[in-house]
């Protein structure tokens, strides 16, 4: 999802986009897709941008990561929670900071009325789905595909059921 969001953000006019991920293969692809800078930790990103970022998007849904990502939002910035957290998860965010620094928090599930727009972006070549694909395996190699995903290898793995 992060790679898709990167492409959408760039298409939407962002001049600089920083990406944070633990997977260095994903970060290399993010650079190919237009990320201005990449990091393996939010603390590294904040070392380069100590005031934070105008817009921060969490695509992980991991509560601890959401809290760290919130720390990277600059005064007057926006924070979007896009990643899917467990229904009973909770995070700790400072309401005083939200108020005092006028931070906007946005939730996005991106399923309402978005399918046609997604198809339009793909067919127009604005979203490069092929650039995110690192493995395409036949159905009989399903176990190998699971191993790749579980070990965080590659970016996206595709199962081809009819090959």
Q: At CA 104, angle to CA 57 and CA 114, rounded to 5? A: 55
- Count the neighbouring beta carbons within 10 Å of the beta carbon of residue 60: 21
pTM: 0.86
30, 5 Cβ separation under 8 angstroms: no
Mean pLDDT per 10-residue section of the chain, whose length is 163 residues: 93 95 92 96 97 97 97 98 95 97 93 84 91 91 92 88 78
Instruction: Return the domain boundaries, the chain.
Output: 2-128, 131-163
Helix axes of 24-32 and 2-11: crossing angle, nearest 10 degrees: 20
Domain 2-128 has CATH 2.40.50.100: no
Q: Please report, for residues 51, 77, 117, the alpha-carbon distance to residue 108 in angstroms, rounded to integers and kept in the order given.
A: 25, 16, 15
Q: Is 27 exposed, middle or buried (0-12, 13-18, 19+ CB in 10 A)?
A: buried
């Amino acid at each position: 999802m992060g790679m898709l969001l990167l492409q959408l953000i760039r298409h939407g006019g962002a001049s600089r986009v920083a990406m944070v991920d633990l997977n260095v293969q994903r970060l290399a692809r993010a650079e190919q897709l237009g990320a201005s800078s990449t990091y393996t930790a939010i603390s590294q990103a904040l070392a380069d941008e100590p005031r934070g970022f105008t817009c921060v998007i969490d695509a992980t849904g991991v509560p601890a990561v959401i809290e760290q990502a919130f720390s990277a939002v600059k005064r007057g910035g926006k924070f979007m929670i896009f990643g899917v957290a467990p229904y009973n998860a909770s995070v700790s965010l400072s309401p005083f900071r939200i108020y005092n620094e006028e931070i906007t928090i946005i939730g996005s599930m991106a399923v309402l009325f978005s399918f046609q727009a997604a198809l339009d972006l793909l067919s127009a070549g604005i979203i490069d789905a092929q650039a995110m694909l690192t493995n395409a395996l036949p159905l009989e190699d399903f176990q190998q595909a699971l191993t790749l995903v579980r070990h965080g290898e590659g970016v996206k793995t595709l199962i081809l059921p009819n090959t």
